[in-house]
Amino acid sequence: MDGILLVDKPEGMTSAAVVREVKRTLRCKVGHLGTLDPFASGLLPLCLGEGTKIAQFLNAADKAYEGVVRLGTRTDSGDRTGRPVEQSPLPPGLSQARCDLVAASFLGARLQVPPMYSAIKREGVPLYRLARQGVDVEREPRAVRVDALELAPVDDSRLRLRLECSKGTYVRVLAEEIGAALGTRAHLESLRRTRFGRFRLAAAIALPVSCEAAATALIPPRQALDDVPEASVDAALASRIQRGQMAALRDLARPGQAGSALKVIGPDGALLAVVTADGARNWQFARVLS
């Protein structure tokens, strides 16, 4: 069980609880990519076994979501699980044309202030714990990017949302910002992640996960990093690389630029290691797989 397993997380379950359940069933090391809030559902990629070693190369992936924005009420958490803290009249005559104009105004790079109900830590304490204590602290804006946004009226108080965005974008905050752009307050009523980088929800399996289903759906580490260039090596060089010998990397083609990555593939077709180029255009070990 080494690779990436795509799971369709149900509503009401934490990402950590999904990890615990799958780990208990498959009896291997399990981690997750891109936490989903408990009220949200959808695609949650899990790293199994040696797949945990490539998480750093997958975590920066763009994401896509579908959801519903509820207008007229702001909650302390920014979603339906929170306590209502502010209400405002609904925007009159909400048309598709107006939704299109608002959606277009959010496209591109922008700064976003993370919510208090988030896992960001302040002096080692997650902000959501401070929020539950009624404490509000200043948060630094973060650069995010909205690549695509569609808004469509469902009724007078709800909007259907489709979103493609960068890592680090808080959809709950975006829902509040959409409400403000429409002259009202808002919160996120529902959210479902449909894409994580190249991974799609259609390929995800539901809980509970069986060993048979996991084995069938598991994406090998080499395939999970399809967008990273690769180099195949013979058995002798593979053995040296698996032992972490830096001198062995000099037998690989010289990298083109600093920061570039390369998959090293053994004679059996399996991923042996991922190496990255330093400022002197020399390969350095990033991760070595067993």
Between the alpha carbon of residue 147 and those of residues 107, 144, 162, 195, 255, the distances in Å are 6, 10, 11, 13, 31
Q: Which two tokens stand for residue 79?
A: 């979603």
Catalytic residue list contains 2: no
β-strand partners of 165: 63, 146
β-strand partners of 153: 159
Q: Which two tokens stand for residue 219?
A: 């994406």
Q: Considering the candidates 37, 136, 234, 268, report the single residue annotated as catalytic.
A: 37
* Interacting residues of 191 by C-beta distance below 8 A, sequence separation 6+: 37, 39, 40, 41, 42, 65, 66, 67, 79, 171
- How far is it, in rounded angstroms, from Cα 43 to Cα 197? 11
- How far is it, in rounded angstroms, from Cα 41 to Cα 12? 8
What residues are annotated to the active site?
37
